[in-house]
Amino acid sequence: MIKKIGCVEIPVSNMTDAVAFYEKVLGFEKTYEHPVWTAFNVGGTLFALAASGTKKGSERTKICTSCSLCALRYATSKMKLDKEAPTAISIIYFEVENLDEVYQKLKDRSVQFITEPKKQGWGGKTVIMLDPDKNIIVLSQM
């Protein structure tokens, strides 16, 4: 069912500073850049920075509802940072071969999903689920 880890994402308070650190200081190869999400190739694994409202900073208001932390915050009606807002500190992405099939199989096993399978602007398709501790897991199909 799961092929590999597709991405590890961490929240950041300032996208510009974070991108500069990972790109210029650590030498990561940037593969995708968006105002609220930037990805790097780190030895074949995708590593991403998300300015999604979980860290205090000026970019926390730049929130979209297409994936990961933003979707969780949107689904719980907590788009603004407050004590009840979800504040996950990382997200793991697992790649699958057939997202719709895996989604249905896991849904039949009573897995809690906060989105349905959705086409993304980068060409893939994702669905977001929660583990029993409410950790965010994104399943993706390229």
Q: How confident is the prediction along the chain (142 residues), in pLDDT tens digits per residue? A: 888 888 888 777 788 888 998 899 878 899 998 887 899 998 888 888 887 554 454 444 444 545 555 555 555 555 555 555 555 566 778 889 999 999 999 999 998 898 899 998 888 999 988 776 676 888 899 8
Q: Tell which residue, 36, 106, 110, has the closest CA to residue 74.
A: 36
Query: 36 CB contacts (<8 Å, ≥6 apart)?
Result: 15, 50, 51, 52, 59, 62, 63, 64, 70
Q: d(Cα 39, Cα 29) in Å, to the nearest integer?
A: 9
What CATH number does residue 18 fall under?
3.10.180.10
| Domain enclosing residue 108, as ranges | 2-141
Structure confidence at residue 76 (pLDDT): 55
Structure confidence at residue 130 (pLDDT): 79
Counting the structural domains of the chain, the total is 1
Structure confidence at residue 138 (pLDDT): 87
Structure tokens at 86: 């979800």
The model carries a pTM of: 0.60
Structure confidence at residue 63 (pLDDT): 47
Structure confidence at residue 61 (pLDDT): 43
